[in-house]
C-alpha cells in the first residue's frame, strides 16, 4: 500500500510547499482539496493545469485524487450537479489524477429511497464522461450515507466501473460498522481509503494517527489480509479545527505509525 496525505491538513499551502512536505516525510502521493480557496481548483486554465501536472511529475509525487464538494443526492435539478462533477473529472484528467471524490449530501428530511435514486442517476450519467476521461468518480462514506451499507445502496444501483467508493474510516465507524463489515461491502468498488484519528464520537477534532479511538490497525489488517494494494490517505481535518496542531509536525510520526501497522499486518 502507498501512503498519501490530504491538503485539507495544510489549507491554502502553495503546491510546491505541499510537494516538498510529501518528499521530506516519505509520502508517495497527495490528495488535493479542490475548493476555490485552494491553489488547485476547477477554475484553473489549461496552462495552469499543465504547470500543476508538471510540478507533480518533477517532484516524483502522485496526485491521488481530487476532493470535491459535489453533493450527488442533494435535492434540486440534476444538471448543475452533473456539470460540476464533469468539471472535476476534467480537472483530474488534466492533472493525471485517477480519482475524484463526491459526497452523498442528501438533506435530513429527504426520503432515503429517493435520495439513493437521485444519486445513482447523476453518478451513472457522469460516469460516461469519466470513462471517456479515464477517471473514476468515488462516492465517499460521509454525511447522509456515512456507513458502507448506506453507500452501497447507491453504488448497487449505478453498476458502472467508473463509479466507486472512497472509504472514510471515521464515518463508517461512526455508523456502527466494524472494518471487516465496511471492507466486505465496499471491496468491489474501492478506490482508496481515508484514515484519520479522533478522541471520541463526540470529539472529532483531528489527532495524530494512533492517538485516538479509530480502528486503524483493524482497517490495515483487513486490507492486507485481502491483498488490497491501493492508497492509504491521511485526512487530517485542520481546515475545520484551527486549534489542532499543524500537520507538518505530525507527518513523520504518522508515516511511522502506518508503516508499523503495515509491517504488523504483513
Say which CATH number the domain at 150 has: 3.20.20.150
Mean pLDDT, all residues of the chain: 97
Mean per-residue pLDDT for 1-19? Answer: 98
- Identify the pLDDT of residue 27: 98
Please, what's the b/e burial string for 9-31 (b: 16 or more CB within 10 A of its CB; e: otherwise)? Answer: bbbebebeebbebbeebebebbb
- Identify the pLDDT of residue 9: 97
| Angle, helices 78-95/112-133, rounded to nearest 10 degrees | 40
Mean per-residue pLDDT for 109-128? Answer: 97
Q: Are 193 and 169 in contact (CB under 8 A)?
A: yes
Local structure of residue 245 (DSSP, 8 states): P
Task: Give the three cell numbers for residue 41.
Answer: 481548483
> How many domains are there within the chain?
1
Instruction: For 172-213, write each residue's pLDDT tens digit.
Output: 999 999 999 999 999 999 999 999 999 999 999 999 999 999
Q: Is residue 265 scored above 90 in pLDDT?
A: no
| Confidence at 98, pLDDT banded by 50, 70, 90 | very high
- Identify the pLDDT of residue 266: 74
Q: Are 139 and 164 in contact (CB under 8 A)?
A: yes
Instruction: For 142-173, write each residue's pLDDT tens digit.
Output: 999 999 999 999 999 999 999 999 999 999 99
Local structure of residue 203 (DSSP, 8 states): -
Taking alpha carbons only, the member of 171, 101, 42, 121 closest to residue 52 is 42
In the chain, the percentage of residues whose pLDDT exceeds 70 is 100
Residues 6+ apart with CB under 8 A from 24: 251
Instruction: For 37-65, write each residue's pLDDT tens digit.
Output: 999 999 999 999 999 999 999 999 999 99
3-state secondary structure of 200: coil
Instruction: For 183-192, write each residue's pLDDT tens digit.
Output: 999 999 999 9
Q: How far is CA 202 from CA 143, 169, 199, in A?
A: 15, 16, 8
Local structure of residue 116 (DSSP, 8 states): H
Taking alpha carbons only, the member of 177, 169, 145 closest to residue 158 is 145
Task: Give the three cell numbers for residue 132.
Answer: 471517456
Q: Is residue 222 scored above 80 in pLDDT?
A: yes
Q: Give the residue numbers spanning the domain of 12.
A: 2-265
Q: Is 243 exposed, middle or buried (0-12, 13-18, 19+ CB in 10 A)?
A: exposed
| Confidence at 134, pLDDT banded by 50, 70, 90 | very high
Amino acid at each position: 500500500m502507498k501512503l498519501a496525505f490530504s491538503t485539507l491538513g495544510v489549507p491554502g499551502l502553495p503546491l510546491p510547499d505541499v510537494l516538498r512536505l510529501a518528499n521530506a516525510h516519505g509520502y508517495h502521493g497527495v490528495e488535493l482539496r479542490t475548493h476555490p480557496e485552494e491553489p488547485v481548483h476547477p477554475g484553473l486554465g489549461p496552462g495552469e493545469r499543465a504547470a500543476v501536472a508538471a510540478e507533480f511529475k518533477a517532484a516524483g509525487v502522485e496526485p491521488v485524487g481530487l476532493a470535491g464538494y459535489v453533493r450527488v443526492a442533494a435535492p434540486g435539478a440534476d444538471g448543475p450537479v452533473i456539470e460540476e462533477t464533469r468539471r472535476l473529472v476534467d480537472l483530474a484528467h488534466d492533472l493525471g489524477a485517477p480519482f475524484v471524490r463526491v459526497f452523498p449530501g442528501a438533506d435530513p428530511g429527504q426520503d432515503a429511497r429517493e435520495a439513493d435514486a437521485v444519486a445513482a442517476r447523476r453518478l451513472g450519467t457522469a460516469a460516461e464522461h469519466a470513462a471517456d476521461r479515464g477517471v473514476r468518480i468515488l462516492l465517499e462514506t460521509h454525511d447522509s450515507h456515512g456507513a458502507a451499507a448506506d453507500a452501497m445502496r447507491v453504488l448497487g444501483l449505478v453498476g458502472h466501473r467508473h463509479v466507486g467508493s472512497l472509504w472514510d474510516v471515521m464515518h463508517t465507524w461512526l455508523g456502527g460498522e466494524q472494518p471487516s463489515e465496511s471492507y466486505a461491502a465496499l471491496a468491489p468498488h474501492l478506490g482508496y481509503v481515508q484514515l484519520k484519528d479522533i478522541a471520541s464520537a463526540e470529539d472529532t477534532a483531528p489527532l495524530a494517527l494512533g492517538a485516538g479511538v479509530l480502528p486503524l490497525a483493524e482497517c490495515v489488517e483487513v486490507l492486507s489480509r485481502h491483498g488490497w494494494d491501493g492508497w492509504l490517505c491521511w485526512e487530517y481535518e485542520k481546515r475545520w479545527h484551527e486549534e489542532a496542531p499543524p500537520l507538518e509536525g505530525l507527518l513523520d510520526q504518522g508515516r511511522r505509525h502506518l508503516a508499523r501497522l503495515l509491517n504488523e499486518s504483513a
